[in-house]
């Protein structure tokens, strides 16, 4: 007899939205279990705002337990799946845990792939997690502090150049946030000149934000250039080392900080299961089922699911992850009840991207938006996704308060008492030679 448990692996937009949709409609005797390595959902599109200190880290995460009412939540990592017997094993804080499932849904997104550009793994900073965003923010603040103590003009310029690779949503957003952040922080670093700071965005395409209409990509480019971003279209990075970024057909850029927003790879578990993939995403049938998977399904960024509305692969965005989750919930219920499932079909309501603090571009229900209106709508959307009224209200108050005050420049190290007297590598493995004070 098939166990009456639907297990969802992954606590992102897709996984939590699926669990919420299921727990309201599951038949008698059935239950849902969500497994996630983290106890919270990360609102990844807002990570650039964390980098630029426009929001606090806790503003871009939501506790999973506060989002679920009936579903069981297990904080752990899926290790093995026995598809034939519908059994799985995961590691938890209490040790290994084995249990049976009726249906298993993969919703664990994708990982950063730092092998796209030679040298990225050793010298570049990815932006996928809250920890990445905080590390980049700290690195920027450390660079500013080091410039003040440096007497070599060439080294100061290299320390002050921040290179962002990728002209999609993440690249545009982090470049704009960094430009605003460094400009705002200058008041606190009197020995750093504005001319010594530079944010460079490299994109190998002819326009930014290829997912949006050309006019919005052009509007984003104008907004970034107005903020002082050195925008280089049609430019490909060929190698990254500790001191520079090499460019195809152009002179290398001297820099100590490179942020990479391109390149994704599948969860290692996908390879171990031998599932078919397309561009690192699990191939699914039109209804979200894994072909021949014996109760396996995939949803969200990790799934290569065709959208019946346009015949194209669903883009890895929050909007499509939520829409896929809602459709998959209906398909799982239909499968349980012996009814036909339906192909995924979703017409995009629009897309938005920030280009800095109080600035953005977007397309909402066919209406193009730029500037602060786009930025406000973008924030409103993610505020609506936050669980509980109390959390929404607190974040709204703090966001409104931040409209009228400078960006925060706190460097958070989270030093524990036992570490106070240990030697700290202040420069964080700086690739540039030390200079006397």
Domains belonging to the chain, first-starting first, are 5-110+266-336 (3.50.50.60), 120-263+350-402 (3.50.50.100)
pLDDT at 73: 97
pLDDT at 367: 86
Measured distance CA(110)–CA(267) in Å, rounded: 6
What percent of the residues of the chain are helix, what percent strand, and what percent coil, each to the nearest 5?
35, 25, 40
Maximum Cα–Cα distance for the chain, whole Å? 75
Measured distance CA(300)–CA(325) in Å, rounded: 7
Q: What is the pTM of this model?
A: 0.90
Residue 41: closest CA among 4, 76, 14, 7: 14
Measured distance CA(346)–CA(323) in Å, rounded: 7
pLDDT by position in tens, the chain (length 437)? 678 999 999 999 999 999 999 998 999 999 999 999 999 999 998 999 999 988 888 889 999 999 999 999 999 999 999 999 999 999 999 999 999 999 999 999 998 888 899 999 999 999 999 999 999 999 999 999 999 999 999 999 999 999 999 999 999 999 999 999 999 999 999 999 999 999 999 999 999 998 888 989 999 999 999 999 999 999 999 999 999 999 999 999 999 999 999 988 888 889 888 899 998 899 999 999 999 878 999 999 999 999 999 999 999 888 999 999 999 999 999 999 999 999 999 998 888 899 998 899 988 888 888 999 999 998 898 888 888 888 889 888 888 888 888 888 888 777 777 777 775 554 444 444 444 33
Measured distance CA(384)–CA(13) in Å, rounded: 13
- Residue 99 forms beta bridges with which residues? 88
Tokens of residue 301, six digits: 């960024």
Residue 229: closest CA among 407, 48, 400: 48
pLDDT at 423: 58
Q: Is the Cβ–Cβ distance between 259 and 179 less than 8 Å?
A: no
DSSP string computed for 151-215: --HHHHHHHHEEEEE--SHHHHHHHHHHHHHHHHHGGG-TTS-GGG-EEEEEESSSSS-TTS-HH
Residue 45, SS3 per DSSP: helix
Residue 104: closest CA among 8, 18, 20: 8
Residue 106: closest CA among 340, 284, 262, 279: 284
- Residue 35 forms beta bridges with which residues? 9, 74
Q: Which residue has the tokens 């050195």?
A: 230
Tokens of residue 7, six digits: 């297990």
pLDDT at 424: 54
* 279-to-44, 299, 396 alpha-carbon distances in Å: 20, 15, 38
Residue 168: closest CA among 429, 351, 415, 378: 351
DSSP string computed for 270-306: HHHHT--EETTEEE--TTSBPTT-SSEEE-GGGEE-E
Alpha helix segments (H runs only) across 68-129: 120-123
Residue 165: closest CA among 206, 194, 124: 124
């Amino acid at each position: 007899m098939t166990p009456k448990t639907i297990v969802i692996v992954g606590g992102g937009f897709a996984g939590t939205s699926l669990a919420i949709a299921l727990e309201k409609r599951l038949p008698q005797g059935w239950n849902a279990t969500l497994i996630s390595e983290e106890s919270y959902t990360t609102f990844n599109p807002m990570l650039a705002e964390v980098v630029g200190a426009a929001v606090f880290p806790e503003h871009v995460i939501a506790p999973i337990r506060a989002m679920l009412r009936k579903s069981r939540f297990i904080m752990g990592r899926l290790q093995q799946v026995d598809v034939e017997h519908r059994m799985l094993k995961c590691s938890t804080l209490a040790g290994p845990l084995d249990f049976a499932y009726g249906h298993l849904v993969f919703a664990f997104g994708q990982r950063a792939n730092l092998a796209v550009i030679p040298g990225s793994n050793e010298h570049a900073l990815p932006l996928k997690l809250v920890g990445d965003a905080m590390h980049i923010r700290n690195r920027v603040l450390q660079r500013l502090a080091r410039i003040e103590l440096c007497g070599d003009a060439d080294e100061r310029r290299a320390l002050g150049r921040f290179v962002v690779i990728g002209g999609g949503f993440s690249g545009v957003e982090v470049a704009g946030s960094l430009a605003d952040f460094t400009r705002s922080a200058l008041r606190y670093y009197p020995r750093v000149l504005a001319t010594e700071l530079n944010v460079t965005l490299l994109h190998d395409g002819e326009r930014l934000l290829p997912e949006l209409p050309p006019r919005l990509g052009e509007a984003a480019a104008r907004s970034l250039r107005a903020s002082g971003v050195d925008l280089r279209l049609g430019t490909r990075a060929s190698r990254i080392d500790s001191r520079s970024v090499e460019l195809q057909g152009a002179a290398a850029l001297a820099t100590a900080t490179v942020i990479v927003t391109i390149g994704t790879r599948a969860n290692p578990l996908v390879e171990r299961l031998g599932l078919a993939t397309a561009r690192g995403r699990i191939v699914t049938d039109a209804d979200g089922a894994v072909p021949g998977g014996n109760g396996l399904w995939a949803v969200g960024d990790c799934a290569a699911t065709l959208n019946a509305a346009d015949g194209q692969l669903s883009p890895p965005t929050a909007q499509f992850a939520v829409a896929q989750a809602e459709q998959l919930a209906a398909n799982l219920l239909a499968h349980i009840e012996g009814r036909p499932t339906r192909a995924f079909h979703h017409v995009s309501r629009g897309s938005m991207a920030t280009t800095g603090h109080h600035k953005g571009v977007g397309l909402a229900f066919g209406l193009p938006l730029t500037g602060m209106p786009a930025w406000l709508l973008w924030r409103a959307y993610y505020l609506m996704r936050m669980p509980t009224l109390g959390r929404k209200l607190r974040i709204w108050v703090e966001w409104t308060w931040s409209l009228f005050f400078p960006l925060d420049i706190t460097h958070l190290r989270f030093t524990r008492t036992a570490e106070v007297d240990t030697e700290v590598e202040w420069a964080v493995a700086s690739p540039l030679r030390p200079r006397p004070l």
